[in-house]
Amino acid sequence: MAKKRTGVGEDLLSIAAALPWWASLLIGLVSYPVLHKFAAQPASVAVAPGQMATVAISAMVSTAAGIGQYLLPLIFGIGAAISFWKQRRRSDLIDGVAESPSAEALDGLSWREFEVLVGEALRLQGYTVVELGGGGPDGGVDLVLSKGKEQFLVQCKQWKAFKVGVTVVRELYGVMAAKGAAGGFVVTSGRFTADAVAFANGRNVKLVDGERLLVLIKQARQSLAEGHSRAATTSKMAKEPASARSHVCPGCGAPMLVRTAKKGANVGAQFWGCSTYPTCKVTEEL
């Protein structure tokens, strides 16, 4: 079936929605002053011989900029909103599955939700993910991953009734060879047949069943939470005096902070206290 043609506006909106929301918002904000500068250029009144083409091009640029100075901020503003909504949807989907004790939580997802979930799980593994947005539950290659200069292909199978067979793995392997991909993933909410496992063994195709996918999601969420915790600790330490950041607790190795006694015989006196208090209660004289 021939691919449906889209207009420039639809193409720009698709690009804006695919970008991180903050990037689309930034482009929308910057586009107005940049294009307004071109749109505000005065038109030439007197035209010297041989300059007609230059003047015509200048007039076309000015007209396009005059329209674009309002249209681009609108398109990229809408795209930023769509991108933000998609990001929240992916995060909510990951959180919901990560809190489930078993892979049965995957069975209640639609094929599209399953693809979004797989894409976000792999994104949290450090891959750059492009969702191809197939037209049905079996659309061939569903995701394209990038890590460095290498490209990986992913096929998602939201099959609840039966196992994924060797034919699916062979098909993906053939597409990988044709496109020169470094590797590939076949991801299912269910399981794989013994023939599929045997074919993938020793080849650059990884099979991820429902149980393994759930483990990957939980690991990714845990790593993300630990990263946020470290970032918060670093930010808190950065606000402390340099002397406080350089002192390490002899009990647990965490940074020690300058604290002020609020009660007891030494009220108002400053001392070193472990930043993990009350977990660690080690103190030292300042």
Task: Please say if the pLDDT value at position 6 is more than 70.
Answer: no
Q: pLDDT digits over 183-226, tens only? A: 999 999 888 999 999 999 999 999 999 888 888 888 777 766 66
The C-alpha torsion from 43 through 48 and 51 to 57, rounded to 10°, is 10
Instruction: Characterize 227-238 residue by residue with b for buried, 16 or more Cβ atoms within 10 angstroms of its Cβ, and e for exposed.
Output: eeeeeeeeeeee
Q: Which long-range contacts (CB under 8 A, 24 or more apart) does 178-182 make?
A: 179/151, 179/153, 180/151, 181/151, 181/152, 181/153, 182/150, 182/151, 182/152
∠ CA 16-18-190 to the nearest 5 degrees?
160
Looking at per-residue confidence, does 1 or 50 come out higher? Answer: 50
Query: What is the CATH architecture of 103-218?
Result: 3-Layer(aba) Sandwich (3.40)
Cβ neighbour number for residue 33 with a 10 Å cutoff: 10
Q: Containing H/E element for 143?
A: strand 143-147
Locate 89 and state its tokens: 């949807």
Asked whether the predicted pLDDT for residue 137 surpasses 50, the reply is: no
Dihedral angle over CA of 93, 98, 102, 107, nearest 10? 10
Residue 192 DSSP one-character state: B
Q: Are strands 183-188 and 150-157 parallel, antiparallel or unpaired?
A: parallel
Separation between Cα atoms, residue 242 and residue 139, nearest integer Å? 56
What value does the mean pLDDT take over residues 248-273? 78
Cα-atom radius of gyration of the chain, to the nearest Å? 28
Lowest mean pLDDT among 105-119, 123-137, 145-159, 267-281: 123-137
Tokens standing for residue 202: 């020793």
